[in-house]
Amino acid sequence: MDHSFDHHDRSAHSGVPPIDFRASLNDEQFAAVTAEPGPLLILAGAGSGKTRTLTYRVAYLLSKGVRPAEILLLTFTNKAAKEMLHRVHDLTGVEPGRFWGGTFHSIGNRALRIYGDAIGLPKNFTILDADESESLLKQVVETENKLFFKDKTNPKPGPLFSVLSLARNTQKPIDETVERYFPQYSEIKHMLPPFAAAYAAKKRAQDVLDYDDLLELWLELLKKAPDVAAYFANRFRHVLVDEYQDTNTIQSQIVDALAGHHQVMAVGDDAQCIYSWRGADFENLMTFEDRHPGTVIHRIETNYRSTPQILNLANGVLDAQPKGRHFEKELRAARKNGQRPMVVQTIDDREQADFILKRTRNLIEEEGVAPGEIAILYRSHFHALEIQLAFSRAGIPYQITSGVKFFERQHVRDLIAFVQFVANPRNESAWNRIAVLLPKVGDKGAQKIYAAAYDHAKLMQRDFVDALATDDVKTKVSKDAKDEWASFTASLKQISDVMRTGKPESVISTAIDGWYADYMKGEYADYIDRMEELKALIGFASRFDDIEEMLSQISLMNGETSEKHVDVPPDTVKLTTVHQSKGLEFDIVFVIGVADGMFPGRRAIEADDVEEERRLFYVAVTRAKNELYICYPKVATRAGPGGLLLTPSRFITELSPDLYEPLRIKRQFGW
């Protein structure tokens, strides 16, 4: 069947008003938008107008007489699909509801509702939300092994679901997934496949699906029901996929199955593939041509966001990639010259924060830059700890777009509560926070234990922490928590002993190594990252001479900056992880902690797998429009006094020195 366009514009017949595509698009975009149907790979660099290209492609297809129902648009968020289809509506007058457009999951749901009976799925199946999925998994595991969740180092239902979900989406064996992404569960990996099988059987028996089933069963439908697959291939003459570099194994196979006719346009950028830990597979984009013979590649490389100097540095980051393992591309600037990016070496995290604070103040007060146009980007949450402290003290409002502030993160608050309680056993709110972490202990149970310990300590004139370990108090502990009570109270005792004689960093270190570390292993799938964040507290604690001073400082920070207490003005400096910044842009960008072991991270270096980190660095530098500062400390504060000497990131040392300006703080700021 010949799908090529005749180049007579059928917009008059299609009801689509004429659009001057030539005038609306640059040469690269125009070539992609008006390309002959067939397998098309659109490599759209950062800031090059990817969404515009996709939107105009849909409008172009309509102008050529393609009916809305013949176009399938797959995106990663409903927001992206909505925005594109509304823009198409503005251009063409065609209502969004006439297309099949949305996330892979939402389109999978539609397909299964209509044709699921071909693989034995009833039309009235129910979709479980995340809580319901975890609850069902919990029931199944307890039926299979009633002691599994009794061991607090085993994953709770939430983290366990994360492990099984990643294995399903990447179509990798569970043990391989555990070894690579969840090594804290290595010793029990053999127990998980039977749980996964029992969970799948239970869902089938109840006619319920979880979110991952929407993809797995849609792919099964396309593979096992040839007539349904043929219907879709016939119906959707054009398949368009946004952010193709983020597809996982199942999503890529779904696209291939739907586009058996190879009338597929995949839009993406291999240099921005940064989500392998969520299941995204870099190879999907790299092998697209193998699966779709005759692929025509279009490169969209004109960048409207950044100055030529920032783009020269971004191109330098990509030039350092291993040859043959990526698509060659070079961002070209549409803008006039600006200043070269600055590489700023500071003594430690504190001086780095001080430099950023002073430069930020200068930008806002002297140069008239809006606070919301300034972003501070980092690889991991704890890298921004000193910045948060400096900004809080200086009264500069900031917003963490990647979630809650460091000291408000759940595991950080838990750990601080252990220390707060030992420092002041009258602090009942700190006690309640840690006591309810015990199995089956709620607020009432926590209060009952506290009252018993208080009475016993008073009566026997004992230290409150010592009183907790006595038999009199243990009788008030619920039977589910009794097994853990000894290690829980022993941990509090260790913190108490160190607090009498040791420095704040020793107290924090002792708290991290105690009962709470085992609790975290079962509570959080991203246990390893969270442990790194807690260890960053050791360096923070080393700044203080006594624990009270440190706890006061943390309370003040939380009191002043917590969004529960203070309305953060909308126009505030943004602090965000690089992952969260993807797709955003700012006039001024500071990338911090760009030292080997921080960015790229230590684990990536040890695994000899830094390419995704390099792509992440590329995403970071391409967020900047006018000014870019790449900062790194010479000493890692988190190693405590004496520190640990750091070297600048390989992502800096690989660059040609003429791409940036080294900034010597003393000369610039007179320190």
Positions at the binding site: 44-51
Query: In the numeric block, which tokens belong to residue 16?
Result: 């689509």
Query: In the numeric block, which tokens belong to residue 166?
Result: 């990643």
Q: Which residues of 84-122 are buried (b: 16+ CB within 10 A; e: fewer)?
A: bbebbbebbebebeebbbbbbbbbbbebbeebbebbebe
- Asked if 631 and 590 count as a contact pair (C-beta separation under 8 A), the reply is yes
CA distances in angstroms from 9 to 2, 60, 61, listed in the order given = 18, 9, 10
- DSSP, collapsed to helix, strand or coil, labels residue 95 as coil
φ/ψ (deg, to 5) at 376: -115, 115
CA pseudo-torsion sign 551, 556, 557, 562: positive
Give residues with Cβ within 8 angstroms of 527, minimum separation 6: 159, 182, 184, 520, 521
DSSP secondary structure string for all residues of 148-186: GGGSTTS--HHHHHHHHHHHHHHT--HHHHHHHH-GGGG
- The 3-state DSSP composition of the chain as helix, strand, coil percent (nearest 5) reads 60, 10, 30
CA pseudo-torsion sign 476, 479, 485, 488: negative
Query: In the numeric block, which tokens belong to residue 324?
Result: 């043959």
DSSP secondary structure string for all residues of 135-158: HHHHHHHHHH-TTGGGSTTS--HH
Question: What are 41's strand-pairing partners?
Answer: 266, 297
- Asked if 538 and 508 count as a contact pair (C-beta separation under 8 A), the reply is yes
Could you give the residue ranges of the DSSP H alpha helices within 15-156? Answer: 21-24, 27-33, 50-63, 78-92, 104-115, 130-144
DSSP secondary structure string for all residues of 233-247: HHH-SEEEESSGGG-
Rounded Cα distance between 334 and 143, Å, is 62
φ/ψ (deg, to 5) at 333: -85, 140
Could you give the residue ranges of the DSSP H alpha helices within 300-427? Answer: 308-319, 349-365, 385-394, 410-423
φ/ψ (deg, to 5) at 593: 65, 35
- Asked if 492 and 510 count as a contact pair (C-beta separation under 8 A), the reply is no
φ/ψ (deg, to 5) at 309: -65, -40
> Helices 249-258 and 104-115: crossing angle, nearest 10°?
60
Provide the residue count of the chain: 671
Query: In the numeric block, which tokens belong to residue 336?
Result: 């006039």
Annotated binding site for ATP: 44-51
CA distances in angstroms from 415 to 9, 155, 412, 496, 517, listed in the order given = 66, 19, 5, 14, 10
For 365-458, strand residue ranges (E) read 374-378, 398-400
Instruction: List, as own/partner pairs, every contact residues 123-127 make where C-beta atoms lie below 8 angstroms and the sequence separation is at least 24, other chains included.
Output: 124/207, 125/207, 125/208, 125/209, 126/206, 126/207, 126/208, 126/209, 127/208, 127/209, 127/210, 127/211, 127/214
- DSSP, collapsed to helix, strand or coil, labels residue 121 as coil
Give residues with Cβ within 8 angstroms of 10, minimum separation 6: 63, 64, 65
N-to-C CA span, the chain: 73
